[in-house]
Every structure is written in structure tokens, then in C-alpha cells.
């Protein structure tokens, strides 16, 4: 009669490996990417809060061009036609108010938390 000797140690190792694989597949944090929609002469949301390191996409869904400019000059898009978007990564915590260079009454703020 043939006896198969199964050691419990490889089984335990396999279970640990499986656990690591499952944890590695956790979804990306939603805070890492965010979007501001531009429509009807409005930035929406008007105030967007993201974590430092987050990338924000400003997308122009309006039927006229807009330009996204930080009050402190830290970022500035080109003229965004309908359907165009501008991407900026916010690395420093703080409040970053911005406006549209073509329509200065259009204003918004990106709040970056540590
Ligand atoms: Cu504008």
C-alpha cells in the first residue's frame, strides 16, 4: 500500500500566498482621481476636496471654450473646446482657488488634504 505523506506546512504557505494575492487586488482609492465638469458657465462641483497626489481632470462639456487658471498661477490650461479636458496633479495640501480666464466670474476651488 502506498502512503501519501502530506505535510501541513506547504498548505499553510499556500493559504498565506492566496491571502496576499486577494489583498493586492483591493480596488484603487477613488480619491486618487477626480473630475470637475465645466458646463453652462459653471465648474461642478464648485469645491472639490481631494487627497495630496490626486489627479484632477477638468472637462469642458460646455458649447463654448473655457480656460482653467489657478489664482496663484500654479496651473493653467490651454483654451478647452467642447469635449477637451485638462489634467493637473495636486501634490501640495491647501486650498487652490481657480477661475476661467475668459469668464472670470466662473470660479471654483480644489481643496487638497494631506
Ligand atoms: Cu469660461
Decide yes or no: CATH 3.60.21.10 for domain 29-113: no
The pLDDT score that the predictor gives to residue 9 is: 58
Structure confidence by residue, pLDDT tens digits, 76-111: 999 999 999 999 999 999 999 999 999 999 999 999
Distance 78 CA to ligand 1 centre (A): 12
Residue that the C-alpha cell 463654448 belongs to? 64
Q: What is the pLDDT confidence band of residue 4, given thresholds at 50, 70 and 90?
A: low
Distance 66 CA to ligand 1 centre (A): 4
If one compares 55 and 13, the residue with the highest pLDDT of the two is 55
Which burial class, exposed, middle or buried, applies to 68 when counting CB atoms under 10 A from its CB (0-12, 13-18, 19+)? buried
What are the structural domain ranges in the chain? 29-113
pTM for this entry: 0.73
Distance 42 CA to ligand 1 centre (A): 8
Amino acid at each position: 500500500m502506498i502512503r501519501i505523506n502530506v505535510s501541513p506546512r506547504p498548505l499553510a504557505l499556500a493559504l498565506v500566498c492566496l491571502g496576499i494575492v486577494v489583498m493586492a487586488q483591493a480596488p484603487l482609492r477613488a480619491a486618487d482621481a477626480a473630475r470637475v465638469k465645466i458646463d453652462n458657465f459653471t465648474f461642478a462641483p464648485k469645491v472639490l476636496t481631494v487627497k495630496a497626489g490626486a489627479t484632477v481632470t477638468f472637462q469642458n462639456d460646455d458649447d463654448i471654450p473655457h480656460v482653467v487658471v489657478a489664482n496663484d498661477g500654479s496651473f493653467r490650461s490651454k483654451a478647452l473646446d467642447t469635449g477637451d479636458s485638462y489634467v493637473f496633479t495636486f501634490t501640495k495640501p491647501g486650498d487652490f482657488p481657480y477661475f476661467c480666464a475668459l469668464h472670470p466670474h466662473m470660479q471654483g476651488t480644489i481643496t487638497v488634504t494631506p
